[in-house]
């Protein structure tokens, strides 16, 4: 049906071209004789009747060759004009050849003026369709624009976005101005839209042009530049969107429908983290790799990046079947059978299940990401934090040692440093388990990686803020002074994989999280980037620190020193000595206590983790 519709349109356009050619060459002949038909000699009328059909056939054939009947003329632009120009240059040459070969005598006005008018008429026909369509769009919208848009970036992506806004019947939008730092472009136009200045003009132009939405069309710009521009946009009350990345632009996927809201990652972004992918791929290639908690935020990203390195076998192990199924299907879509993907359901607390998995698959590498991590919930269920985090880690570590796993990597957290909550204390115990196992094991290298908050992970603050903004507020913050370290999930995972390459056993790798971020500032910027005004459209409410929550997280304990690695973003904290036999005895007592649901479990943990202060709700 669609194909037939296109053919009908092409035939109609061809008939209109024929009509316009008759008019053009007819006018040119009449013009030679002062528009007096009676003054035209019979031989010229004969020549007109002979040459015009030939010119028509040539024109339609050349237009078809240049695909001028295949274009969507509602989106006609410079490329169509360029093809029309080339077609008419060739036609002028062919017309002259036919004229000389035919030995017909015709006025030169007929040839040159006729060809020129035919070019003008056929070009006007095609571009008038676009003009008429734009007038109809304006009429349908009642001349009112629901959105007034500023586009930042006068490059290829910006041009695509502006063109689509200008030609779409479904978008009641007016692009009012363009911002670009290239001073050579300032004062010029894209589809009639002025380029008015660089990034310093953003705030002024928003008021001057009454802008309601800003589109950042800079897919290939350095991260620091994008961050500075988006920070400027956050000073306005405009909704801010951005185009996809540079690879989507190359693939031709940039369009208004692909625009996404600016995310807090765009504000907190850093320059691309430098990791040695060749080293990582060489390390993971042809290995059997087990990821516990493989369906979670960190675990699933570990699976993605590991799968891309072509291991011999990737084993996803998770208690939550929906998450495991989701990452399994994603990897199957991307890699098919590559990597021999295995997805298993089970708990790290189940020793028999772990024994079965290790006995069957004998993994070369284990990335242990399974853990309870929600701070307030664990404060209410401290026994579960100990059972799952501490003894789950111990169970997996013992199986790794028993079945000859070459390397075991624990995913830890900055909350393990001087912890004020049971979740952080449990993760510090996990680190101690790893250090103890590293000293006891001859075959397996046990290491831990420690980093702060990851943007967008399950239970993190960013998805909560977005949901609260969508619901109209309020946005809730525990304390106006609270700050955190942030990193994107892919960044954190790539550094975890790099750290795994450096491991020799017993290390705690500490990932450089950059500068800490004030949560209150982050929330307010997110509100503004969503097109709202904080405390006017969306209220911001301070609820007070939750049990066990710190104002400031730390990455390093006082007793730990730092050692450099080949990657400046990865440091090694020196192990803290403790007596392994005494620690094992305490673990046994802790195991009994948490299964008996005793009331003083936090005090028992504090006796082992000396830096844990369960009654301290605020640390500076």
Cα-to-chain-centroid distance, residue 157? 15
pLDDT reading at 353 higher than 70: yes
Reduced to 3 states, what is the DSSP secondary structure of residue 579?
Answer: coil
CA–CA dist 461, 573 (Å, integer): 28
Q: What per-residue confidence (pLDDT) applies to 107?
A: 80
Q: Which of 102-106, 253-257, 364-368, 565-569 has the lowest mean pLDDT?
A: 253-257
Read off φ and ψ for residue 240, nearest 5 degrees. Answer: -120, 130
pLDDT reading at 35 higher than 90: no
Q: What per-residue confidence (pLDDT) applies to 263?
A: 64
Which of these is catalytic: 415, 525, 550, 602? 415
| Mean of pLDDT values over 603-620 | 71
Report the share of the chain in percent with pLDDT over 70: 81
CA–CA dist 532, 546 (Å, integer): 27
What mean pLDDT, rounded, does the chain reach?
81
Nearest to 562 by CA among 497, 498, 504, 509: 509
pLDDT reading at 558 higher than 70: no
By DSSP bridging, strand 483-484 and strand 445-451 are unpaired
Asked whether the bond before 436 is cis by omega within 30 degrees of 0, the reply is: no
Sign of CA dihedral 59, 65, 71, 77: negative
Q: What per-residue confidence (pLDDT) applies to 249?
A: 42
Chain segment 138-161, per-residue pLDDT in tens: 555 544 456 889 999 888 888 888
Sketch the domain layout of the chain as residue ranges. 2-139, 147-262, 277-454+486-513+554-608
Chain segment 241-269, per-residue pLDDT in tens: 887 654 344 444 445 555 666 666 666 55
Q: What per-residue confidence (pLDDT) applies to 342?
A: 94
Q: What per-residue confidence (pLDDT) applies to 457?
A: 61
Reduced to 3 states, what is the DSSP secondary structure of residue 400?
Answer: helix
CA–CA dist 556, 563 (Å, integer): 12
With cut-offs at 50, 70 and 90, classify the pLDDT of residue 168.
low
| Mean of pLDDT values over 200-222 | 86
Residue 415 annotated among the catalytic residues of the structure: yes
| Mean of pLDDT values over 359-363 | 96
The fold of 277-454+486-513+554-608 is Rossmann fold (3.40.50)
With cut-offs at 50, 70 and 90, classify the pLDDT of residue 619.
very low
**Is 24 or 80 the better-scoring residue by pLDDT?**
24
Q: What per-residue confidence (pLDDT) applies to 49?
A: 80
Q: How many residues does the chain have?
A: 620
Q: What is the DSSP string of 257-272?
A: GG-EE--HHHHH--SP
**Which residues are within 8 A (CB) of 526 and not within 5 positions of it... i.e. 6 or more apart?**
264, 462, 465, 466, 469, 475
Q: Which of 35-39, 516-520, 523-527, 613-617 has the lowest mean pLDDT?
A: 613-617
Phi-psi region of 418 (alpha: psi -120 to 50; beta: other; left: phi over 0): left
| Mean of pLDDT values over 440-461 | 78
Q: Kindly give the interhelix angle for 108-140 and 78-102, rounded to the nearest 10 degrees.
A: 160
Report the share of the chain in percent with pLDDT over 90: 22
Q: Which of 215-224, 257-266, 506-515, 601-610 has the lowest mean pLDDT?
A: 257-266
**Is 573 or 129 the better-scoring residue by pLDDT?**
573
With cut-offs at 50, 70 and 90, classify the pLDDT of residue 352.
very high
Q: What per-residue confidence (pLDDT) applies to 290?
A: 97
Tell me which CATH code domain 147-262 carries: 3.40.50.720
**8 Å CB contact between 48 and 25:** yes
Same CATH fold assignment for domains 147-262 and 277-454+486-513+554-608 = yes
**8 Å CB contact between 379 and 422:** yes
Q: What is the pTM of this model?
A: 0.64
pLDDT reading at 411 higher than 90: yes
Which of the listed ranges 79-83, 502-506, 563-567 does the model predict with the highest average pLDDT?
502-506
Burial 560-595 (b: 16+ CB within 10 A, else e): beeeebebebbbbbebeeeeeeeeeebbeebeebbe
With cut-offs at 50, 70 and 90, classify the pLDDT of residue 82.
confident
């Amino acid at each position: 049906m669609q194909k037939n519709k296109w053919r009908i349109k092409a035939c109609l356009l061809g008939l209109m071209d024929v009509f316009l050619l008759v008019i053009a060459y007819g006018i040119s002949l009449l013009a030679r004789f002062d528009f007096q038909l009676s003054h035209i000699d019979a031989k010229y009328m004969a020549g007109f009747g002979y040459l015009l059909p030939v010119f028509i056939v040539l024109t339609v054939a050349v237009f078809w060759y240049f695909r001028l009947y295949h274009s969507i003329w509602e989106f006609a632009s410079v490329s169509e004009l360029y093809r029309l120009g080339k077609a008419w240059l060739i036609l002028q040459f062919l017309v002259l050849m036919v004229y000389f070969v035919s030995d017909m005598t015709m006025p030169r006005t007929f040839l040159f003026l006729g060809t020129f008018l035919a070019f003008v008429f056929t070009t006007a026909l095609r571009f008038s369709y676009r003009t008429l369509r734009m007038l109809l769009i304006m009429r349908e919208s009642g001349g009112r624009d629901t959105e007034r848009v500023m586009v930042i970036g006068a490059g290829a992506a910006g041009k695509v976005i502006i063109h689509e806004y200008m030609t779409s019947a479904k978008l009641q939008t007016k692009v009012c101005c363009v911002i670009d730092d290239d001073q050579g472009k300032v004062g010029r136009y894209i589809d009639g839209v002025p380029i008015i200045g660089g990034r310093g003009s953003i705030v002024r132009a928003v008021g001057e042009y009454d802008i309601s939405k800003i589109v950042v069309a800079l897919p290939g710009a350095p991260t620091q530049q994008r961050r500075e521009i988006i920070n400027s946009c956050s000073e306005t009350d405009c909704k801010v969107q951005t185009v996809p990345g540079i690879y989507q632009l190359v693939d031709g996927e940039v369009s208004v429908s692909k625009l996404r809201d600016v995310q807090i990652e765009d504000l907190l972004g850093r320059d691309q983290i430098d990791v040695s992918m060749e080293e990582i791929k060489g390390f993971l290639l042809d290995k059997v790799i087990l990821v516990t908690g493989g369906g979670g935020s960190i675990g699933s990203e570990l699976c993605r990046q590991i799968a891309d390195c072509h291991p011999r076998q990737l084993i996803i192990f998770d208690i939550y079947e929906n998450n495991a199924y989701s990452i399994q299907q994603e990897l199957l879509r991307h890699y098919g059978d590559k990597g021999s993907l295995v997805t298993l359901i089970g708990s790290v607390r189940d020793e028999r299940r772990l024994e079965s998995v290790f006995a069957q698959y004998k993994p070369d590498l284990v990335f242990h990401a399974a853990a309870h991590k929600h701070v307030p919930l664990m404060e209410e269920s401290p026994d579960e934090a100990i059972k799952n985090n501490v003894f789950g880690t111990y169970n997996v570590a013992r199986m790794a040692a028993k079945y000859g796993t070459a390397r075991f990597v624990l995913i830890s957290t900055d909350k393990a440093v001087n912890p004020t909550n049971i979740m952080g204390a449990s993760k510090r115990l996990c680190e101690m388990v790893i250090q103890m196992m590293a000293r006891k094991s001859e075959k397996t290298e046990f290491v831990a990686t420690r980093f702060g908050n990851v943007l967008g992970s399950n239970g993190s603050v960013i998805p909560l803020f977005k949901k609260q903004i969508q619901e109209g507020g309020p946005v809730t913050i525990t304390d106006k002074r609270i700050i955190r370290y942030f990193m994107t999930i892919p960044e954190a995972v790539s550094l975890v994989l790099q750290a795994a390459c450096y491991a020799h056993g017993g290390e705690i790798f500490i990932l450089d999280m950059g500068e800490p971020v004030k949560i209150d500032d982050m929330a307010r910027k997110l509100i503004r980037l969503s097109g709202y005004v904080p405390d006017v459209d969306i209220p911001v409410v301070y609820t007070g620190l939750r049990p066990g929550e710190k104002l400031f997280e730390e990455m390093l304990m006082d007793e730990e020193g730092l050692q450099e690695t080949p990657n400046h973003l990865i440091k090694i904290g020196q192990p803290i000595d403790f007596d392994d036999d005494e620690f094992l005895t305490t673990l046994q007592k802790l195991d009994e206590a948490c299964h008996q649901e005793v009331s003083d479990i936090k005090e028992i943990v504090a006796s082992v983790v000396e830096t844990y202060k369960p009654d301290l709700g605020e640390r500076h």
